[in-house]
């Protein structure tokens, strides 16, 4: 369930571990991850670094990955690139999500949607810490949430100290060991070639046709000198589709084999697949937002149960509804009594 607001602790400005992060790591944590629309109530968000380059004009995949490595070393965030998920580790505790039984159920529901086994275990560890430091919260004893939380607490937990870095281990051989001192991580050409040359093992999805980009400033690049159209220069965020033919043959198509036209057709195919995926994603996001809006109303309502029912009817989340129903029922009883009285009077005549 998405959040309408992000809760940022002001004492972060005094937290020594936070101040030891690089400026890019602080930006990735506070200005990207904490306000990410996909961030769930158990602290899990989508981890798709290439897409994150669109969050700022000069943001590149190099900077994102270097910042992620710093956050990972400091255990501010844990990653699973295989499932494309990141855990903002202390979100449940810092946002005090277990204070309210309904919010606790939202945490449990969000946990059930986590794909990564590693991150699931890390979430359980955070719940156990919350149980220790926030034991006075009502969700631990409320009939609405205590059993669901107890089931999660019985699951295997991963202590942050035992977490095996996923981001850092993939780049340390190329860029050196990032540490918690705040020293910038230098990105070299070898690192760029691994994450930006078109490797689909880490950040590609062949089923939807996403291609790597070296920065969000790239545009579709045609090279007239060689009549070659490169898909690596293709901007997946472009609003205009790339041509299906090379510059030489746009106005004068040919039936002869043309390597550049073949590359152009491949680029257009990728663009078309991305557009179709974007439409599906938008439809899915809209449905998700509607469901989250309904769930938020349930969480904030003091009348209905966790399923949104007031007794046996769907709750309207209107605090005045109880009194309105009471007055309506009283008028019905008065009307029935009047009818019964008139009937009795008629029988006596």
> What range defines the domain where residue 335 resides?
318-348
The answer to whether residue 297 is domain-embedded is no
Domain count, the chain: 2
- Out of 185, 202, 219, a domain closes at 202
CA atoms 217, 234, 201, 35: torsion sign: positive
* Percent of residues in the chain assigned helix, strand, coil, to nearest 5: 55, 5, 40
The answer to whether residue 114 is domain-embedded is yes
**CA dist 63 to 53, 58, 176, 286, Å?**
9, 9, 15, 31
The answer to whether residue 239 is domain-embedded is no
Token pair for 285: 């996001």
Based on the domain organization, do 198 and 328 belong to the same domain? no
| DSSP secondary structure code for residue 118 in this structure | H
Can you point out the beta strands (E) in the chain?
44-46, 77-80, 85-88, 222-223, 228-229, 309-310, 313-314
The answer to whether residue 167 is domain-embedded is yes
**Which residues touch 84 (CB under 8 Å, ≥6 apart)?**
46, 47, 48
Based on the domain organization, do 197 and 65 belong to the same domain? yes
Query: What is this structure's pTM?
Result: 0.53
The answer to whether residue 325 is domain-embedded is yes
The answer to whether residue 184 is domain-embedded is yes
271-301 as b/e: b if 16+ CB within 10 A:
bebbeebeeeeeeeeeeeeeebeebeebbeb
Give the model's pLDDT for residue 78: 96
- Out of 147, 175, 202, a domain closes at 202
Give the model's pLDDT for residue 292: 72
The answer to whether residue 24 is domain-embedded is yes
- Out of 159, 184, 202, a domain closes at 202
Based on the domain organization, do 53 and 196 belong to the same domain? yes
Based on the domain organization, do 198 and 322 belong to the same domain? no
Give the model's pLDDT for residue 114: 94
Question: Could you give the CA distance from residue 236 to residue 50 in angstroms, rounded to a whole number?
Answer: 10
The answer to whether residue 57 is domain-embedded is yes
Block means of pLDDT (10 residues each) for the chain, 349 residues, are 66 85 93 92 93 90 92 94 94 91 93 94 95 94 93 92 83 44 39 36 33 34 35 51 85 83 84 77 73 76 76 73 75 85 78
Give the model's pLDDT for residue 115: 94
Question: Could you give the CA distance from residue 147 to residue 101 in angstroms, rounded to a whole number?
Answer: 11
315 phi/psi in degrees, rounded to 5 = -70, 140
Question: Could you give the CA distance from residue 85 to residue 115 in angstroms, rounded to a whole number?
Answer: 8
Residue position matching structure tokens 């019985």: 154
Based on the domain organization, do 14 and 144 belong to the same domain? yes
């Amino acid at each position: 369930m998405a959040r309408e607001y992000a809760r940022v602790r002001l004492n972060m400005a005094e937290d020594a571990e936070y101040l030891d992060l690089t400026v890019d790591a602080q930006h990735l944590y506070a200005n990207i991850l904490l306000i990410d629309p996909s961030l769930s109530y158990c602290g899990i968000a989508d981890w798709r670094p290439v897409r994150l380059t669109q969050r700022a004009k000069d943001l590149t995949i190099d900077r994102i990955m270097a910042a992620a490595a710093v956050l990972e070393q400091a255990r501010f965030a844990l990653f699973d690139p295989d499932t494309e998920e990141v855990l903002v580790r202390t979100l449940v505790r810092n946002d005090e999500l277990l204070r309210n039984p309904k919010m606790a159920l939202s945490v449990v529901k969000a946990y059930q949607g986590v794909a990564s086994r590693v991150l699931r275990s890390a979430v359980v560890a955070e719940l156990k810490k919350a149980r220790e430091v926030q034991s006075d919260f009502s969700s631990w004893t409320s009939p609405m949430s205590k059993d669901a939380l107890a089931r999660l607490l019985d699951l295997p937990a991963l202590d942050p100290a035992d977490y095996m870095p996923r981001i850092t281990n993939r780049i340390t051989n190329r860029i050196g060991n990032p540490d918690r001192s705040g020293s910038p991580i230098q990105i070299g050409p070898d690192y760029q070639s691994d994450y930006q040359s078109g490797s689909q093992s880490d950040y590609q999805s062949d089923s939807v046709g996403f291609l790597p980009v070296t920065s969000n400033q790239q545009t579709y690049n045609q090279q007239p000198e060689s009549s070659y159209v490169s898909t690596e220069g293709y901007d997946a965020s472009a609003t205009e589709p790339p041509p299906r033919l090379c510059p030489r043959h746009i106005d004068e198509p040919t039936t002869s084999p043309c390597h550049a036209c073949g590359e152009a057709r491949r680029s257009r195919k990728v663009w078309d697949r991305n557009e179709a995926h974007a439409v599906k994603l938008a439809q899915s996001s809209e449905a998700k937002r509607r469901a989250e809006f309904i769930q938020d109303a349930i969480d904030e309502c003091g009348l209905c149960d966790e399923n949104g029912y007031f007794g046996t009817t769907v709750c309207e989340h209107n605090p005045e509804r109880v009194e309105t129903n009471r007055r309506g029922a009283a008028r019905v009883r008065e009307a029935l009594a009047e009818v019964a009285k008139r009937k009795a009077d008629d029988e006596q005549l």
